[in-house]
Amino acid sequence: MKSVNVAVIGVGAVGVEMLQILKQRNFPINRLRVFARHGRQIAVNDCSYNVEAIEGQEFDGIDIALFAGTEGEKGASSLYAQKFIEKGAIVIDNGADFRLKEGVPLVVPEVNEAKIYEHKGLIANPNCTTIQAVVALGGIYKQFGLEKFILTSFQATSGAGKRAAQGLWEETKSVVETNQNVEYDHLKKRIEIALESGFSHQIAFNIIPQIGSIGEEGYTTEEWKVIRETHKIMDNHSIRITATCARVPVFTSHSEAIYFKPHKKTAFSELEEVLQHTKGVKYFPHALPLPLDSEGTDEVFVGRLRRDPHEENSFWLWCVADNLRKGAALNAVQIAEHLLAKQ
């Protein structure tokens, strides 16, 4: 692959992960520029990066612009993506602004690689929860189709940004140091920490069964993302999908329990065979995939495959993946790698 000029926009949890992955994968960079709201120097794994304040900058000569974005938030791409495109860059956006926009490919390379090459200057990265689910189910869908699936997610705090993950740490220390003391002053302090973290409730030693705002039919914005993004990625709106998304006291890696019914009658052994050969999946037939084990890895770990004893041709699986890597930064870099490989 020829060397190209790359920009990374945003240096939060996902942006930092993008910088690490570009280096780890020896991405062919001629010149790298890093942008954020405020200019500064940052260090990532002993490498120093000059971060430029994005306001007022010129974007000439950039070939690929990776917008880091954060979970569910409108990001810099809404302000600057078109400016990069007008200067000749291809924008790969991890934010939520363009995922469902008509004419913008929503891509997970292991599932719908062909859509990458239909871009008009902008390619969208799906939500982390969606990416993990469609990789886990992608091979099954291609082989047997999907009639429906029901997803329950257990999502790490880092999905809401560095401040949220730090908030988990601060809350945990506060609870431990006070020895579970719920006197007013300590309780007030813990509530203040929770609010500073961006969560509506304490997350340490707790589960919050809401990610995003409550919307249509009582489902959250995060839950609707799973439904609508999966339909777009798989180019099939007939799949019946429903979801519950919860925030759990884990720093990194999302976990998902997925109940699914293939469209074609499928044997258990056939599902195992497909999972063993699905691109991007690491299948564990006899072990428990754990979020701690998947942290820092590129694959979606899948295990606990089992049939529903009461419903014909229906199954469960459990999957975990590093939400900052495959759920965000790595997926974007993989899209860029496919683009370069075609040039």
Catalytic residues: 128, 254
Q: Alpha-carbon distance 67 to 90, whole Å?
A: 11
Q: Alpha-carbon distance 279 to 281, whole Å?
A: 6
Q: Alpha-carbon distance 125 to 334, whole Å?
A: 11
- Please name the residues in contact with 206: beta carbons below 8 A apart, sequence gap of 6 or more: 249
- Tokens for 19, please give them: 């910088």
Q: Collapsing DSSP states into helix, strand and coil, what is residue 203?
A: coil
Question: Kind of pairing, strands 122-124 and 90-93?
Answer: parallel
Contact indicator for 159, 282 with CB cutoff of 8 Å:
no
Nearest CA among 113, 154, 156, 152 for reference residue 135: 113
- Please name the residues in contact with 49: beta carbons below 8 A apart, sequence gap of 6 or more: 11, 19, 32, 34, 41, 42, 43
Q: 51-80 burial string, b = 16+ CB within 10 Å, else e?
A: bbebeeeebeebbbbbbbbbbbeebbbbeb
Q: Alpha-carbon distance 120 to 171, whole Å?
A: 45
Pure H helices in the chain: 13-24, 77-86, 109-112, 128-144, 162-177, 184-197, 221-233, 268-277, 291-294, 330-341
Dihedral sign (CA 244, 250, 254, 260): negative
Q: Which residues pair with 6 in a beta bridge?
A: 32, 64
